[in-house]
Amino acid sequence: MVNKIVREIIHAKGIDIGIYTKDFENEYISLTDIAKYRNDNDPRFVIQNWMRNRNTVEFLAVWEEFHNSDFNRVQFEAVRSEAGLNRFVMTPTKWIEQTNAIGIVSKAGRYGGGTYAHSDIAMVFATWISPEFQLYIMKDYCRLKQDENSRFSLDWNLNRALSKVNYRIHTDAVKESILCSCI
């Protein structure tokens, strides 16, 4: 069964930030959109600068070890030995290819393209951009989750009510069927 991609948008300080999920457990937030808060013309450079930071590389590795059994720890050690040096360059695609990472996703294309990261990673990136901006993102993200929960709750209550109504109809039909077969 192919999971359908569900896309949503949150708003923080006038910037639309894309979110997508396939399984409703792991949501990926657009780092490209978050980076536009600092550099609207070339957000990829903001992401690359963040990924050059040794603390970032170590955080990404810890996240991957926690969530990804296929994380390439050996290749990570090679990356970590270079991280923080002036000559060190890291891109999302390079990180994904070298370490078999799943926490960051890089997509080509004008619509829906860009760099996305699991919500855990995206919040760390947003804090690096600006703690104030991260708070705005977090507040709208929480609002989105509350809206989803209330929608799911309404669906559940509707299903419960329908089951309650249909129970009587179903039991009456079974009784009639049993009585008819006995006669």
What values do phi and psi take at 86, rounded to 5?
-60, -35
Name every residue whose Cβ is closer than 8 Å to that of residue 63 and which is 6 or more positions away in sequence.
Answer: 103, 118, 120, 121
Q: Mean per-residue pLDDT for 93-120?
A: 91
Q: Mean per-residue pLDDT for 159-167?
A: 67
Q: Considering the domain boundaries, does residue 43 fall inside one? A: yes
Q: Considering the domain boundaries, does residue 59 fall inside one? A: yes
The boundaries of the domain holding residue 132 are 6-182
Which is it for the CA torsion 128, 32, 152, 146, positive or negative?
Answer: positive
Specify the number of domains making up the chain: 1
Residue 158's pLDDT is what?
62
Q: Considering the domain boundaries, does residue 89 fall inside one? A: yes
pLDDT tens per residue, range 6-60: 788 888 899 999 998 877 678 999 999 999 999 999 999 999 999 999 999 999 9
Give the alpha-carbon dihedral of 33, 37, 43, 49, to 10 degrees.
-120
Residue 182's pLDDT is what?
62
Q: Which amino acid is it at 22?
A: K
Q: Mean per-residue pLDDT for 79-91?
A: 93
Q: Considering the domain boundaries, does residue 1 fall inside one? A: no
